[in-house]
Amino acid sequence: MKNNSEFREKYAYPILGIATIAILLFLNFSNQLTFEFPTVFWQKNMGFVGVNSTNFIIIYSHNQIDQRVFVNGWNSYWLMEASVWDPSRSKVSRMLKKGAQMGLNVCRTWAFSDGPGPNSLQISPGVFNERVLKGLDYVIVEARKNGVRLILSLVNNLNAFGGKAQYVKWAQEAGVVNISSSADSFFADSTIKDYYKAYIKAIVTRKNSLSGVRYSEEPAIFAWELINEPRCDFDSCSSILQAWITEMVAYTKSLDQKHLVTIGLEGFYGPKPVEKSKINPGEWATSLGTDFIQNSAIDGIDFASVHAYPDSWMPHANVTAKLDFLSHWLDSHISDSENILKKPVLFTEVGYPIYVKGENGHYGDNLMRTVYDKIFESAKKGQAGAGSLIWQLLVEGMEEFGDRFSVVAWNHPSTYKLIVEQSCRLKSIMWKRKSAGELNGEDTCSGLVP
């Protein structure tokens, strides 16, 4: 540095200028006590997902381009929890990036965690952990960055992460329901329903601390899912469950008119008609208080959701019987969605034990291929089978979130190939209709699809 005046000219004035802007910005926002500098200024342009008859479409509000879209997706239920603390945030980014590279366009994940606990989102009814909400903010921003849309599930039927049992416990502790009341009070009791509605409201109307975008205005959200795998303890609660879905979908839509809503069903048929109930994996599945058709037909439910776990549902059946069941399960739900419901259907969880070998090669690959083929056949005809999501993908170092259905896909070359091929052949039908610059996997697929 030669002399003082040159320093002033070259460096000091710009520094002063930046400082002034910073001070002005600070003054501008200092009236908001909780103001934090948004870390995301630029976000990928994305349309909202809508429904046209039995297809999903992407709606671009500005230039009105409608693009029919099919889903090759995955589950990683752990994204929010892993985003709460810094060290594991990079795993979330990596998962979403790798998913996008595999051409996957939708990820389903938990937007709930109820009960006492350091990483719990809802500590007690209506009391939220801001740090965990910021974790969810992070998941959404990273999804959008990678062109992935999220299905966010709002409560668990199962006890993991609190679930409906935690809501019932809260009501018992508050003296609202008595100690002998069953988990079905979750669907029946008005105080518990109010707890749950308050939860929906807190999530759906939240403003993302990183992007400043309200969740209800966020195109990277594909849909809200009311409850993961609803089941009743008593068959007698089927009409209560039907009423609960009706009430909750209407409530969600009153807060958010832009997003799709689904239930989160496993897809079991009720006891009537008998022909349908025979498609279930067993007699037990008809008495869980759910009915795929009746439940999914409710107004405001934009698309049907179905799970497929031949191995959990038919543990004693042989491989041929499991694959046979799966094939009918898919045909039946796609056909009902096309002809009766007239809504798209997503197979939102398809899982198989990773390390089981079948009679002809890898059992899991055969199972996944069965699902992917059915979806592709339906999609080619423009029918209701709109996509499937494998349960579940991990990245290295996240094994603690694994179960016997979890896989680091790129460590299983045959599985990886199968997933990418499905992404690419679904994309090839979308591309035929219209090229929209936001499809994942354009690089991955070039050369793979004729």
Ligand X SMILES: *[C@@H]1O[C@H](CO)[C@@H](O)[C@H](O)[C@H]1NC(C)=O
Residue 10: count of CB within 10 angstroms of its CB? 10
In whole angstroms, give the CA distance from residue 290 to residue 206. 31
* Distance of closest approach, residue 410 Cβ to ligand X, in angstroms: 33
- Considering beta carbons, is residue 375 or 420 the nearer one to ligand X? 375
Kindly tell me which residue out of 318, 360, 411, 414 binds ligand X, with binding defined by CB under 6 A: 318
Kindly tell me which residue out of 39, 90, 159, 320 binds ligand X, with binding defined by CB under 6 A: 320
Residue 321 as a binder of ligand X (CB under 6 A): the answer is yes
Residue 339 as a binder of ligand X (CB under 6 A): the answer is no
Which residues 41-60 are close enough to bind ligand X by CB under 6 A? Answer: 52-53, 55, 57
164 closest CA partner among 228, 121, 77, 111: 228
99 closest CA partner among 220, 229, 259, 258: 220
- Active-site residue flag, 349: yes
Kindly tell me which residue out of 63, 178, 190, 257 binds ligand X, with binding defined by CB under 6 A: 178
- Considering beta carbons, is residue 57 or 132 the nearer one to ligand X? 57
In whole angstroms, give the CA distance from residue 446 to residue 450. 8
- Active-site residue flag, 9: no
Q: List own/partner pairs for 311-320 with CB under 8 A and 24 or more apart.
A: 311/351, 311/352, 311/353, 311/356, 312/351, 313/281, 313/282, 313/285, 314/281, 314/282, 319/358, 319/359, 319/363, 320/359
Which residues 100-119 are close enough to bind ligand X by CB under 6 A? Answer: none
Residue 61 as a binder of ligand X (CB under 6 A): the answer is no
* Distance of closest approach, residue 189 Cβ to ligand X, in angstroms: 8
- Considering beta carbons, is residue 185 or 216 the nearer one to ligand X? 185
Catalytic residue among 225, 229, 266, 338: 229
Element (H, E) at 140: helix 130-145
Kindly tell me which residue out of 43, 50, 66, 442 binds ligand X, with binding defined by CB under 6 A: 66
* Distance of closest approach, residue 14 Cβ to ligand X, in angstroms: 51
Site size toward ligand X, by CB under 6 A = 13
In whole angstroms, give the CA distance from residue 70 to residue 422. 10
Burial of 16 (0-12, 13-18, 19+ CB in 10 A): exposed
Residue 181 as a binder of ligand X (CB under 6 A): the answer is yes
* Distance of closest approach, residue 46 Cβ to ligand X, in angstroms: 17
With b for 16 or more beta-carbon neighbours within 10 A and e for fewer, the 238-261 pattern comes to: bebbbebbeebbebbbebbebbbb
Residue 30 as a binder of ligand X (CB under 6 A): the answer is no
Residue 380 as a binder of ligand X (CB under 6 A): the answer is no
- Measured at CB, which residue is nearest to ligand X? 66
Residue 180 as a binder of ligand X (CB under 6 A): the answer is yes
222 closest CA partner among 3, 422, 409, 389: 389
Residue 68 as a binder of ligand X (CB under 6 A): the answer is yes
- Considering beta carbons, is residue 13 or 234 the nearer one to ligand X? 234
What is the DSSP pairing of strand 127-128 with strand 122-124?
antiparallel
Instruction: Give catalytic residues, as residue numbers.
Output: 229, 349
**What residues make contact with ligand X under the rule CB under 6 A?**
52-53, 55, 57, 66, 68, 178, 180-181, 185, 318, 320-321
